[in-house]
Structure formats: structure tokens, C-alpha cells
Amino acid sequence: MPIAEQNLIDAFERIPVSIFPNPAEGSRAAANIIAQTLRARAAENKPCVLGLATGSTMIALYAELVRLHREEGLSFAHAVTFNLDEYYPIDRNAFQSYWQFMHRHLFRHVDINPANIHIPDGRLPKSELKAHCAAYEAAIVAAGGIDLQVLGIGHNGHIGFNEPGSSIHSRTRLINLEQDTRIANAFEFANPGEVPRLALTMGLSTILSARRILLMAWSGGKARIVRRAVEGAVSESVPASLLQQHPDCTFILDDAAATELTRHRSPWLTGEVEWTPEMIRRAVVNMALERDKPILSLTNNDYNEYGLSDLLAEQGDAYAINLDVYYMLRDCITGWPGGKPGSLPSHPERPEPWPKRVVLFSPHPDDDIISMGGTFRRLHEQGHEVHVAYQTSGNIAVTDEFVIRHLDFAEGFESIAAGSNERSASAIREVREYLAQKAPHELDSPLVRSLKGLIRRCEARATCRYVGLPERQVHFMDLPFYETGTIEKAPMGPADIELTKKLLEEVRPHQVFAAGDLADPHGTHKVCLDIIFEALRQLKEAGADWIKDCRLWLYKGAWQEWSVEETDMAVPMSPGQVLEKRHGIFMHQSQKDIVPFQGNDAREFWQRAEERNAATANLFAQLGLTRYAALESFRRWEF
């Protein structure tokens, strides 16, 4: 690529950015850089000092480093490591401790000298922390400084645990964690109240002293803060933006995390683009929203001032372009998500066959009603054969307190029921005794996990009964990848894919709805979607005849929504239908009030759903379309 063209593409970026199609490829690229650094220092017979990070972003990176060690002989014998941070207080044996994380994912699988591993100690008395932090800084200096520092980025721009407002001159220290950070990290703990309020972290000055820095970010949930860090002003209110001042820092992103960068969001500002209908829709919608005008009111001056003069030159007068985009948006709105008999070709879903067989995949036992509850009810009420497939048990999202509440009911029922079952009574005693002695951060026993899964299964059945779905059309898949008993899940495996293929072959659907929201904080949605993609791919390669007449629609989950320009089908809801959806969400009582894994959003799921659906409706109205109470958005995916 010519230098001039490259400079134009990344002209708005103040930090070098490397973008990869997915986290796996990005992780491999980062691992190769680390491997090159290790080998170069080993060739010089010198230690290689690595600054390491934790969190879900790093799991694939460490897995690739372990693979390189086992299969390609990458040695860590010369490595000296310093971890960014650790919760405080926390015992090293706690599953959530970063000491455990690092040993679980990297250290116990490679040939590193344990004496060369440095992780802040969350066990020390507070009176010893100041000296401990000073010693940590001294150890970094004694090792010769950090050669390569690996970072992730928080939703508020923190690096390490340096929250917004941290001084650029800060060193390793004890720090208060903001509530947003604690909520975002709650997925690692049984409930938000268990997340420590303090942490030990390297300071910004410590991080910026590294000779080279790699920052990794995956998923659309990080896209906005990545843009602020890369293209925004340098400010301590966005700690990651301070990396603009580092002489050798690179951001490694997947496509989703890069979507807010100017090169992706407004590529016409960085060079020539191919003006496809999708690109035109994106440009005109963004222009209308930014200028706060209905689409049909945009003028030639608006196009010129927004940097779209090339579009005018290619397509002609603004009014003609406005009409095309207006019709695109108008035609994606439908009250018939399964297709309407006799509808025009512009309808988002084909009218035939009628009625359709539909599979609605729900990663957790409540994503169906939260994300597309109005559409779910419409599909059933309009006569389609709707099958709901709950992909995982969702057991880790049930609090111990909620289990005890059910135990109280079960014991009370048995005390008044004739012929009480001794086996069930024994199981109740076992669970109650286990929870009574369960240590903080301890993993659940298989029996407790089964009970928590049963609670969520009963809630999901209640929702399906509320919608009116026959029992035979409700499927609990319990995909094996999820059943680790921990927050961290296994990769998808052949058993997950075979179970999904079996269900699809049984139903032979005309429509598949699946969760395309990859901002789920513990990654379950991403794995569930990958399993569906792989199952469909294998069925297509095997010649499944029904696939050619099947369409895949992606909904977003509880954390995000499709933007207007991404939406291929929008299903409206009346105020009454919004209330019906809320009642369906309320069936999931274990997820109300305190959301165990809510990410960086403190609202309950029903609040998120209602506000998100209303916001989508308001955006369409702002663009000049009919105003509805709420809209659920979907994107068609070609497979």
C-alpha cells in the first residue's frame, strides 16, 4: 500500500492501530510480537522483561503463547514478568485473584522461573502496602525496566486500574475502584457486592516507562472508548489517551472494536470509497443525526459541509439520495417479522413459505424475552411454529441467596406434603450445608450448579407459557462449553456443534434468530454465536436441502443495540406490547433487582430493554419516519 494512501486512511489516528478480523487473529499477532521480543533478548543472553495484564481480552493471547511454547519451542527461561495489578484485599487462592489467573492461563504451562514472576500481593496488611509498592517499582528498575508492556482498556478508558483522573506521574499504589469498574468486573464474582473496592496497580508513569506497549481491545463494547483514546485529545480523564505520548505504542483491535474510528465510521473523510447502497445509507443517516435534521430535509449544502461532495458528484441531487435512503429505512419497519402474505418484494422477510418454522436461539434463559420479546410474541401470534432453544443453563447468574429462598420453599412444601421424598430432602440438606460453609469466591458444587440451572429453566418455561408456546417447542440444550462451574468458559467443541446441528436438522427452520451482541461481559454470547455459525456451515457443506431457504437474523442482547444504519428489520411495539414484554422479563425473578453479571450498566434488564427499544424508535422518528413507542432491531446475516 502506498505510504500516502496509508497516511490518509489513518489520518485521524494519533496512535498506530492494527486491525484484525477477529480476536483470535489479533491475539496471534500480539503473541508473535511477544515471541519475537523473547527470542531477541534470549539471543543476547539478556532477560526479557514483560509487563502483563489480565482479563478476558488476554485469555486467547496467553493460550497462543502456551501453544508457541509447546509446539514451536518458545522459551520463557529468560522472561521476567511484572503484572499490572491485583485486587485488594484478596487471597492468592481465590479463583478471581490475578495471581490465580496468570498461573491458570500462562505460568504453569511454560518454562518460566517462578522467582521471575512478580504480581502485586493482595494479601498484605494495609500498613505494609506503601513499602510493597515502592519495592515493586524498585524491582522493575532492577530488572532493567519493562521491554514490552501488554494492556487492555476499560470502558471508561482505564489502563491497569488507573481510573479517570489518575495522574500521569503516578506510580504503583493502592487505588479506589470506581463503581463502574466494579460493576464491569462483577462477572468474575458471585454478585457485585463481592467485588473488592480497592486494588493495587502500576501507575501511569510506570506504564509509560515501558520501551514498547501493546494495547488489545475486542468487541463493539470497546469501540467508543478506543476512538476517544486514539483520536481524542490527550487527557487524564481518559487514561488510555496518554498513550498518544508514548514513542512506541500500538493498539491491536478486532473489526468490532475499530468500528467507531473515522476510517470505519466515516471512511469518505479518509479517502475514496465505493458508494454502495449500504455505504450511502450509513453516510446519510449519520449526517442527518449529527445535523439534527429529518433525512428528507437534507440539502446539497449539508452534503458538502459533511464531506459528502463526492457522493453528490456521483449520485446527483441531494433530494434523490434522500428519497432512496428514506425508502430503505421505511421498508425495514414491519409488524410481520415472519413475512406478510402478499407483501411487496421490499419487505425485509419473504412472504412464502407460510407459516414458517422458526428457531430462536437464546444464549441464556432470558435473552429471548429481553432482546426480542415483542418479536417473539408476534411470530407466535401470527401462526408461525416457533421453537426456543436455550443454549446454556445460565446457572452461574443465580445468587446463593436466591437458591436459599427456593430451599426454604421446598422444605416448607415437604413439611406439609404427604410421603415426602427422603432423597430430595437429603439433597436439600446437602445444598443448604454446602452454602452455609461456602467460602468467599469458592466455586459451586455440581449439585448447587444443577439447582441453579433448574431455577433458570423454570423461569424460562414460565416465559414460554406466558407467550403461549407449546412445551414441545421449548428446548434446553445445556451446551457443554458452558458447564465449567467457573466464570471462564471452555472454547466451543464438537459436542456443542453436534447438539446444535441435531436441533436444526429436527426443526429444519425457515428462520433462525440468534444473539449477535458480543458485548456480553463473560463471552457466552460470542461462543454461542460461533457454535451456530459453525453448525450452519457444516450443514450447508453436507448438503442440507432446507438451508437454501433459511434466513439468519441477529438480534442484540442486553448490552447493545444495532444502529439505525445497520438495521435490516425493525419490529414496532405499541405501549401495551412494551408492557407485555416487561411482564415476560419479570418471569426471570433470579435476574431481578441485583443483576449478577450486568457488565458496566447498573440498570435491570427490563429497564435496559425498554430504554434501548424506545431510543431506537426515537432515532427513526428523528430521521423523519413514523414515531412508535419502541422498535426491536435485527440484522440479516448471510451464511
- pLDDT tier, 574 (very low <50, low <70, confident <90, very high otherwise): very high
Q: What CA–CA distance (Å, rounded) separates 563 from 526? A: 19
Tens of pLDDT, residues 331-355: 999 999 999 888 777 889 999 899 9
Which residues, other chains included, contact 57 with Cβ-Cβ below 8 Å and sequence gap of 6+? Answer: 23, 152, 216, 217, 218
- pLDDT tier, 506 (very low <50, low <70, confident <90, very high otherwise): very high
In the predicted model, what is the mean pLDDT of residues 519-536? Answer: 81
Indicate the range of 59-63, 181-185, 307-311 predicted with least confidence. 181-185
Which residues, other chains included, contact 482 with Cβ-Cβ below 8 Å and sequence gap of 6+? Answer: 391, 392, 393, 489, 490, 524, 527
Question: Contact, 518 vs 365, CB < 8 A?
Answer: no
Question: Contact, 561 vs 633, CB < 8 A?
Answer: yes
Indicate the range of 204-218, 407-421, 448-462 predicted with least confidence. 407-421
226 pLDDT above the threshold of 50: yes
In the predicted model, what is the mean pLDDT of residues 166-191? Answer: 83
Could you tell me how far CA 364 lies from the centroid of its own chain?
Answer: 14
Is pLDDT larger for residue 606 or for residue 168?
Answer: 168
Q: What CA–CA distance (Å, rounded) separates 192 from 225? A: 23
Indicate the range of 77-86, 335-344, 353-362 predicted with least confidence. 335-344
Question: Contact, 634 vs 570, CB < 8 A?
Answer: yes
Question: Contact, 254 vs 21, CB < 8 A?
Answer: yes
Percent of all residues in the chain with a pLDDT value above 70, rounded to a whole number: 91
In the predicted model, what is the mean pLDDT of residues 407-433? Answer: 64
For position 36, what pLDDT does the model report?
Answer: 97
593 pLDDT above the threshold of 80: no
501 pLDDT above the threshold of 70: yes
The grid coordinates of residue 142 equal 532492577
Percent of all residues in the chain with a pLDDT value above 90, rounded to a whole number: 61
Q: What CA–CA distance (Å, rounded) separates 552 from 557? A: 16
Indicate the range of 182-186, 211-215, 536-540 predicted with least confidence. 182-186
The Cβ of residue 443 has, within 10 Å, a number of other Cβ atoms equal to: 15
Is pLDDT larger for residue 411 or for residue 118?
Answer: 118
Helix (H), strand (E) at residue 18: strand 17-20
Q: What CA–CA distance (Å, rounded) separates 91 from 87? A: 9
For position 520, what pLDDT does the model report?
Answer: 54
Question: Contact, 83 vs 149, CB < 8 A?
Answer: no
The tally of CA atoms less than 13 A away on the side-chain side of residue 298 is 33
Site of grid cell 402474505: 341
Question: Contact, 273 vs 279, CB < 8 A?
Answer: yes
Q: What CA–CA distance (Å, rounded) separates 594 from 135? A: 40
Indicate the range of 217-231, 251-265, 314-328, 551-565 predicted with least confidence. 551-565
For position 364, what pLDDT does the model report?
Answer: 84
Mean pLDDT for all residues in the chain: 88
Tens of pLDDT, residues 229-269: 999 999 999 999 999 999 999 999 999 899 999 998 888 88
Question: Contact, 460 vs 474, CB < 8 A?
Answer: yes
Residue 75: DSSP 8-state: -
Q: Which of 268-272, 491-495, 593-597: highest mean pLDDT?
A: 491-495
The Cβ of residue 113 has, within 10 Å, a number of other Cβ atoms equal to: 11
Q: What burial letters (b/e) apply to 524-561, b meaning 16+ CB within 10 Å?
A: bbbbbbbbbbbbbeebeeeebeebeebbbbbbbbbbbb
CB-based burial of residue 425 (10 Å sphere; 0-12 exposed, 13-18 middle, 19+ buried)?
A: middle
DSSP structure string for 513-553: EEE--TT-TTSHHHHHHHHHHHHHHHHHHTT-GGGGG-EEE
The grid coordinates of residue 542 equal 453436507
The runs of H, that is alpha helices, within 417-445 are 422-437
Tell me the β-bridge partners of 254: 20
3 pLDDT above the threshold of 50: no
Residue 178: DSSP 8-state: P
Indicate which residues carry an active-site annotation.
Answer: 163
DSSP structure string for 22-38: SHHHHHHHHHHHHHHHH
Question: Contact, 517 vs 594, CB < 8 A?
Answer: no
Position 315: which residue type? Q
DSSP structure string for 304-324: HHTT-HHHHHHH--HHHHHHH
For position 184, what pLDDT does the model report?
Answer: 72
Is pLDDT larger for residue 398 or for residue 127?
Answer: 127
Position 446: which residue type? P
51 pLDDT above the threshold of 50: yes
In order of 41, 191, 403, the CA distances from 452 in angstroms are 50, 14, 7
For position 419, what pLDDT does the model report?
Answer: 45
Q: What CA–CA distance (Å, rounded) separates 256 from 23? A: 9
- List of E strands, 300-413: 357-362, 385-390
In the predicted model, what is the mean pLDDT of residues 498-517? Answer: 94
Indicate the range of 175-189, 304-318, 402-416 predicted with least confidence. 402-416
* DSSP reduced 3-state for 213: strand
Indicate the range of 34-38, 366-370, 626-630 predicted with least confidence. 366-370
Question: Contact, 505 vs 539, CB < 8 A?
Answer: yes
Helix (H), strand (E) at residue 555: strand 551-555
Q: What CA–CA distance (Å, rounded) separates 491 from 332? A: 35
In the predicted model, what is the mean pLDDT of residues 462-489? Answer: 85
Q: What CA–CA distance (Å, rounded) separates 333 from 202? A: 50
Site of grid cell 413475512: 339
Position 396: which residue type? I
Q: Dihedral sign for Cα 84, 89, 91, 94, please.
A: negative
For position 403, what pLDDT does the model report?
Answer: 74
Virtual torsion, Cα 20, 21, 22, 25, nearest 10 deg: -50
What percentage of the chain's residues is helix, strand, coil (to nearest 5)? 50, 15, 35
In order of 11, 49, 149, 283, 398, the CA distances from 132 in angstroms are 43, 19, 21, 53, 37
Tell me the β-bridge partners of 249: 213
Indicate the range of 7-16, 24-33, 515-524 predicted with least confidence. 515-524
The Cβ of residue 600 has, within 10 Å, a number of other Cβ atoms equal to: 19
For position 225, what pLDDT does the model report?
Answer: 95
